[in-house]
Amino acid sequence: MPADSDASAALTLLSAAAVRERAHRMLALALDDELPNFRIYPEKMDGVVDLVLQTTRDSYPSFQVPFHSRWRHFVANNANRWAATADQTRWKDRSARARAEFDLAIVSVFLDAGAGPTWRYRDPKSGLAIGRSEGLGLASLGMFESGAFSANPRDPLRADADVLANLTLSDLERGLQVSGENPLVGLQGRVDLLRSLGKLVASKSDIFGRHDTPRPGGLFDRLAARAENGRLPAVVILSELLQQLGPIWPSRLTLGGIALGDCWKHPALVTDDATTGLVPLHKLSQWLAYSLIEPLQAAGIEVIDIDGLTGLAEYRNGGLFVDSGVLAFRHEADAQREHEVAAVLVVEWRALTVALLDRLADGMRKRLGLDAVSLPLAKVLEGGSWAAGRRLARERRADASPPVKVISDGTVF
């Protein structure tokens, strides 16, 4: 097949639609008991619907559930840390605030792979020691507010490409409070990712520097220009993220010269083109897409078709289905072994997670008499599936680790 045809095929994988389509193909194989690593017990899904509904009601009794996004992790002790800072800042206009919020969300999400079970961030405002994603959120917010990513001391609330490109390991160790006694999984991977981000943004001033010097937040202007009559489909956010930022990810799979990002091989996913065996998941990019919705809305752009995005193929959502018994290891020894991110078992588990989250959302909507507009997947995740997955992990394992042991490089989970 010619290279240009390979490139065209590759571009089809850089979408939420491709993630969903291949995930549901994986689920169909599971239902036919044709997968090498997991068996599925769909009759147990009713119990998962019950658990996630109860978890959602516990956190949101009125069922006014916000979107699943990084902004939830900037709230601590019922105080919205970012809003307190942003509301006191004199912005030139709504677009200036949106660029800053894009800067913050992009940098924070790229720091948000799994932290490991022992790392904690001691929050200077509350004195609490906070781990995992919430701790990383507050730590990255603290770095952002202190001007750690800004080239201008008089304008700390920004992330400049040149600063990101020259971040050092010690910069992140200091900001994330990493030490021998407080280790963080995948620290070097996070540093490398932010450096790559800075270099890429600096090289694409036409995309990221339309109204300012190059910065990740310049993507706001690109997306605003793509809105039609003030409306922007959520899948366009993801498409831009994948196409504009795709090259920053560590060397993984490429096709026709195009980096495929969070996309992996599974022998069961056979197609009749150059994408055969490939399973796109795009977890961090979709997490980021969800996290850019609110800044766009605040800037006056209506984000539509939010359910065009998929669920997130990560270890809390995935753990929910294993710990609840919907998915079971075909070989029990696999539960005790550690697996590389690229392992067929991990790819299989993550793809099944995406498809099962769609089924979970459908089950919740039927139970509540709601539709996808009133209960989008973004609210199911937040209410929801992620918290229920963590809850089961805490009940089953002393360190609340996921039921599938994945070796993290700091850039996927």
Q: Which helix H or strand E contains 303, and what residues bound it?
A: strand 302-304
Quote the tokens at residue 68. 């699943």
Torsion of CA 152, 154, 159, 161, to 10 degrees: -10
Non-local (6+) Cβ contacts of 45 within 8 A are 326, 356, 359, 360, 363
Instruction: Specify the pLDDT at position 247.
Output: 84
Domain borders along the chain are 3-407
Alpha-carbon radius of gyration of the chain:
20
Burial 102-115 (b: 16+ CB within 10 A, else e): bbbbbbbbbbbbbb
Instruction: Specify the pLDDT at position 115.
Output: 79
Instruction: Specify the pLDDT at position 411.
Output: 65
Quote the pTM value: 0.93
Q: What is the mean pLDDT of each run of 10 residues along the chain (413 residues)?
A: 78 96 98 98 98 97 93 91 96 97 96 85 93 93 98 97 98 96 91 95 96 97 97 96 87 88 96 96 93 97 96 96 98 96 97 98 97 94 95 94 86 65
Instruction: Specify the pLDDT at position 2.
Output: 46
Instruction: Specify the pLDDT at position 211.
Output: 93
DSSP-assigned letter for residue 301: P
Instruction: Specify the pLDDT at position 89.
Output: 96
Q: Which helix H or strand E contains 83, and what residues bound it?
A: helix 81-87
DSSP-assigned letter for residue 66: P
Instruction: Specify the pLDDT at position 413.
Output: 61
